[in-house]
Amino acid sequence: MSNKLRDRSQRHDVFHRKAKQAGFVARSVFKLEEIDQKHRLIKSGARVLDLGCRPGSWLQYAGRVAGNKAVLVGVDRTPLEVAIPGVRQLVGDVFQMEPKALLGELTHFDVVLSDMAPDTSGVRSMDQARSEGLFEHALSLAESLLAPGGHFVGKLFQGPDWQRLLIRARAGFEEVRTIKPAGSRQESIEQYVVAMRRKTIKTE
């Protein structure tokens, strides 16, 4: 094994061990933790929607931060394999789900999270396009489901539509930042778009 591959493997193992020691099901939790600690998105009692929630570490983190009064909703094509207290999970294709089904008895969410990623093909342009489609759908849901002042975090592979999607996010949120957390693999093209404080949309 080359030194570069060995370093990547060791880095992966460090995050994996830390996650297991802290009681999280996946190393991806540290991506959300870094984003949240920097921007303070998840408050006590928050209503959180997690799109593409498997294996569940983001819901686990949101539950710990938001506390017992949190309302957590997770969506994925496959059921969670771990029990997470207080989570209402919807199993199915997010593209086929109506916003009302996601809300249930709620009126709005405070935070919408999306760690959705495409089934990668190895063709960079195709994977970028699929990622952009997932991100844009997640952003559309956030625009319709977030309370004024709410926040959105979405994974996005950098591709041709990167700037267009950032411009769209800025139109609906007061502040938009991008971040590549330390938990992301160095060679990955993934970034996270953090859209903060949903604007109040005026209607005629």
User: Given a cut of 50, is residue 164 above it in pLDDT?
Assistant: yes
Q: Is the model more confident about 166 or about 119? A: 166
The pLDDT, as a whole number, for residue 194 is 98
Reported for 62-66, long-range contacts at CB under 8 A and 24+ positions apart, including other chains, are 62/32, 62/111, 62/113, 63/87, 65/36, 66/42
Q: What percent of the chain has pLDDT over 70?
A: 91
What structural domains does the chain harbor? 28-198 (3.40.50.150)
Nearest 5°: phi and psi at 130? Answer: -65, -40
Virtual torsion, Cα 133, 149, 56, 73, nearest 10 deg? -90
pTM here? 0.90
- Sort strands 87-91 and 71-76 into parallel, antiparallel or unpaired: parallel
Residue 9 is encoded by which pair of tokens?
């493997």
The structure tokens listed for 40 are 């303070």
For residues 111 and 109, what is the distance between their CA atoms, to the nearest angstrom? 6
Identify whether the C-beta of residue 103 lies closer than 8 Å to the C-beta of residue 142.
no
Instruction: Return the pLDDT at 4.
Output: 43
Positions marked active-site: 155
Give long-range contacts, CB 8 A cutoff, 24+ apart: 17-21. Answer: 19/57
Residue with tokens 């591709």: 159
pLDDT at 200: 86
Please report the pLDDT score of residue 202 as a whole number.
Answer: 58
One-letter amino acid at 10 equals Q
